């Protein structure tokens, strides 16, 4: 038999009809709805109290980071935008007691609309120092940029991936 959409209001009439017509086959003939649909609709009505079965709330694997964890992650990024994924991971570990992979952090930030930037300047010393994990190199970077450049001299470009 060919699939035919049956409106839920029409399905809601089937339990009422069932009270007066006991045979499902007769109901199917009267309403021009297949017998299988009549049986399934009545079963849903008896099992769930509604002719339409309830929707499954969540399908697939649950996310490792919930909304509160993501808010914490966004706060870490806003507090210190030049943090590395390892530092963000450490911040999540300390703040939310959750340990996730660095790729999970980067994917979550991409999904939330954040993009990663590379810093290009004239001096080669400063070229990639912004992404250093070493505290000493980061301090050197901040000293060089803070002392030698104004904010209008820095250019941030998107990193094409």
Q: Put residue 60 in one of left, alpha, beta given phi > 0 → left and psi -120 to 50 → alpha.
A: left
Q: Is 143 exposed, middle or buried (0-12, 13-18, 19+ CB in 10 A)?
A: exposed
Among the listed residues 28, 46, 29, 45, the one whose alpha carbon sits nearest the alpha carbon of residue 37: 28
Tell whether the model's pLDDT for residue 65 goes beyond 70: yes
Per-residue pLDDT at 2: 73
Tell whether the model's pLDDT for residue 155 goes beyond 90: no
Per-residue pLDDT at 1: 57
Give me Rg for the CA atoms of the chain: 30
Tell whether the model's pLDDT for residue 15 goes beyond 90: yes
The string of pLDDT tens digits covering residues 99-131 is: 999 889 988 888 888 876 654 444 444 444 445
Q: CB within 8 A of 54, min separation 6: which ones?
A: 48
Is 130 in contact with 141 (CB distance < 8 Å)? yes
Least confident segment among 8-12, 52-56, 66-70, 155-159: 155-159
Average pLDDT, the chain: 81
How far apart, in whole angstroms, are the C-alpha atoms of residue 19 and residue 15? Answer: 7
At 133, the pLDDT band (50, 70, 90 cuts) reads low
Q: Please state the pTM of the whole predicted model.
A: 0.43
The string of pLDDT tens digits covering residues 34-64 is: 999 999 999 999 999 999 888 887 778 888 8
């Amino acid at each position: 038999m060919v699939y035919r959409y049956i409106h839920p209001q029409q399905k809601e009439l089937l339990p009422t009809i069932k009270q007066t017509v006991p045979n499902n086959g007769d109901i199917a003939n009267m309403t021009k709805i297949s017998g299988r649909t009549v049986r399934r609709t009545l079963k849903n009505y008896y099992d769930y109290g509604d002719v339409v079965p309830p929707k499954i709330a969540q399908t697939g694997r649950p996310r490792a980071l919930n909304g509160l964890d993501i808010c914490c992650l966004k706060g870490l990024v806003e507090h210190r935008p030049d943090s590395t994924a390892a530092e963000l991971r450490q911040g999540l570990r300390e703040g939310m007691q959750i340990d996730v992979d660095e790729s999970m952090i980067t994917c979550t930030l991409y999904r939330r609309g954040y993009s990663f930037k590379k810093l290009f300047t004239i001096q080669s010393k400063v070229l990639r120092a912004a992404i250093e994990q070493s505290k000493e190199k980061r301090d050197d970077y901040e000293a060089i940029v803070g002392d030698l450049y104004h904010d209008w001299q820095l250019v941030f470009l998107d990193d094409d991936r």
